[in-house]
Chain A
Amino acid sequence: MSETVIDGQTHPARVTRRGTVLPYLLSLPALLVCIGILVPFFTAAYYSLEAYNMAFPAGRHFVGIGNYIDLFTSSDFLHTIAVSMIYMGASVILELLLGLGIAMLLRERTRINNIISVALLLPLMVAPVIASLIWKLMTNPNFGVYAWIVNGLGFTGFRWASDPSTAMFSVVLIDIWVNTPFIMILLLAGLRSLPTQPFEAARLDGVPARFVFFRITLPMLMPYIITATLFRLLSAIQEFSIVYGMTQGGPGNALMVFQVRAYVDFYQNTNVGRSAAILMVLWAITFVLSKLFVNQWHKMRERNHAGA
């Protein structure tokens, strides 16, 4: 068995054992369940190639990539892509920064730090759809406590989710509230599991804090950052409940992100073909993103395991 030794520590390597049927046996049940779920995926893919509207059952016919051409030439859909990207980018970046900051602050294993880190998990336990309802009430200019506070601070006329220019801000804020704890806990776990020697050595050598952070902490933390980012990116671009609960995609089209648009197209406009096409495009984007990240993750792990 090959091992690598760094700083006197032994790092385990994966066992290469060819020709046994065991790994397949172990992973097959999971795969079988997964395949059952893939069947509707292919059904949806087929629907996306049809002009299929539930209100016109007689008019259903095959159109190949017709739906896709319609989508990419419609400004509404391009707007959906833009809005989804903005939502995804804004929430994930802000959550990462905030989560990292909080994790750094809570790094030491003190009693109070532990209490705070568990308490901060509470927002994660409120279902996003309900968080949206509660924030809707809190930002209601007639009764909402947040609206009252913001008004008191002098920002009268701040319209939260009912104005296109501030709607995105409002839902991203809710998303940050709900999801930062997830990133925080992941990064905290990472921070606490880092080896102490490099940091002690740096302290003894009088290395400035900034250097330590960027050259030592961050690189070692990368696998965690990548894991957190991957999961959050995938969730954010597919966000449904927060946006739907708050404005159903409005005001105007300000928040028509992918899944909200697909949901509305399916249930209100009963346009199955177009709804399926929108979801396929979403899937393609997430597929590419995941591949990128997973590759990056593997590289990180190899590097960490193989030593500096």
Chain B
Amino acid sequence: MPVHDRSLRLLRGAALTLIVLFFMFPIFWIAVMSLQTNSQILSLPPKLVFSPTLSNYIALITGRLSTSVGQLNIAFMHNLFNSFLLSSCSVVLALILGVPAAYAFARFKFRLGEDMAFTLLSLKFAPPLLVLLPLSLEFQQIGLDNTYAGLIWIYQLITLPLILWIVRGYFEDVSPDIENAYRVDGHSWFRGFVKIAIPLAGPGIAAAGLLSFIFAWNNFIFALVLASGSKQPVTVGALAFVTASGIQYGQIAAAVVLSIIPTFAIALYAQRWLVEGLSLGAVKG
């Protein structure tokens, strides 16, 4: 019935508008704040009409900030670099470790298989502090204090379980027929793995990698407890904008905008695979 259809469509449109408003408004507001000075931000009613300024971005990129309390050095660009380094290396390492393991769990039914899979998943539900607090007391002895390597290792707690879980599901639903045919032709299983299985599971790997990257990038507590000085990522670095002369909301907003851009760019690029890659029961209709 046309009337029914039209009102349904209106309802749907209204619902979607509300949803988009709810989720997008803070982002929009952050972007607006990044172009305002602190005294413009701290005013009510909120200013929508104002003369924008790029001073926040300039302060972040050049690393110097003038406040009423003097000049401050900001290490934001370095923090951004740290975030990038830590997140990408952790994801790469997790892929190297996790994809073969996921393949093994998916293709083979071997003794201890399920137990090992569960143990690896258990990384996800170990409360971070449970691992971090003893580690913070002992990291120096192991010689990993304030090193990128130490942090990337610990970041596996975030990246590995997710990759394992999603990629395994994907492998399980990809037919092994092609691989087997390939192998029957005389190629080693490794070639089969690399040439057939991985490309077929591409979307799943891409999706898992992207999500892991986002979670690693957003991580706060690991870096808070274990990162020192020069190794801090942007999440901990953002606290540096809480200064004695006041919280520099303008710079925080600009920092958020700058740190969303890399992840969002990657997501845009990979979005095609994102939805496809997360489909576990990939039964094509």
The answer to whether A and B assemble together is: yes
B102 to chain A, nearest CB (A): 9
Q: Do A134 and B256 contact each other (CB < 8 Å), given the known contacts A142-B44, A240-B221?
A: yes
The count of residues in chain B whose C-beta lies closer than 8 Å to any C-beta of chain A is 104
Interface secondary structure of A, over-half rule: helix
A293 to chain B, nearest CB (A): 10
Q: A37-B156, A148-B46 are in contact. List 19 more A-B contacts (CB 8 A).
A: A12-B172, A15-B108, A16-B109, A22-B189, A26-B100, A26-B104, A29-B100, A34-B123, A119-B20, A122-B24, A128-B220, A177-B22, A185-B274, A190-B281, A193-B276, A227-B169, A234-B125, A283-B130, A290-B121
Question: A93 within 8 Å of B by Cβ?
Answer: no
- CB contacts (< 8 Å) of A127 on chain B: these are 217-220, 234-235, 238, 259
In the complex, residue of chain B having the shortest beta-carbon distance to the beta carbon of A46: B134
Is A37 touching B154 in the complex (CB atoms < 8 A)?
yes
- CB contacts (< 8 Å) of A294 on chain B: these are 118, 121
- CB contacts (< 8 Å) of A227 on chain B: these are 165, 169, 280
Is B122 touching A290 in the complex (CB atoms < 8 A)?
yes
Question: A189 within 8 Å of B by Cβ?
Answer: yes
Is A134 touching B252 in the complex (CB atoms < 8 A)?
yes
Instruction: State A192–B273 Cα separation when bound (angstroms).
Output: 12
Question: A105 within 8 Å of B by Cβ?
Answer: yes
Instruction: State A9–B278 Cα separation when bound (angstroms).
Output: 21
Question: A116 within 8 Å of B by Cβ?
Answer: yes
Q: Do A138 and B134 contact each other (CB < 8 Å), given the known contacts A27-B104, A122-B260, A227-B165?
A: no
Interface secondary structure of B, over-half rule: helix
Number of A-B contacts (CB under 8 A): 293
Binding site for B on A (CB under 8 A): 1, 9-12, 14-18, 20, 22-24, 26-27, 29-31, 33-34, 36-37, 40-41, 43-44, 47, 101-102, 105-106, 114, 116-131, 133-135, 137-138, 142-145, 148, 177, 180-182, 185-186, 188-190, 192-197, 220, 223-224, 227, 231, 234, 238, 240-241, 258-259, 262-263, 266, 272, 275-276, 279-280, 282-283, 286-287, 289-291, 294, 301, 304
Question: B55 within 8 Å of A by Cβ?
Answer: no
Is B16 touching A14 in the complex (CB atoms < 8 A)?
no
Binding site for A on B (CB under 8 A): 12, 15-16, 19-20, 22-24, 26-27, 29-30, 41-46, 96-98, 100-101, 103-110, 113, 116, 118-135, 138, 153-154, 156-157, 160, 162, 164-165, 169, 172-177, 180, 189, 207, 211, 214, 217-221, 234-235, 238, 247, 249, 252-253, 256, 259-260, 263-264, 267-268, 271, 274-285
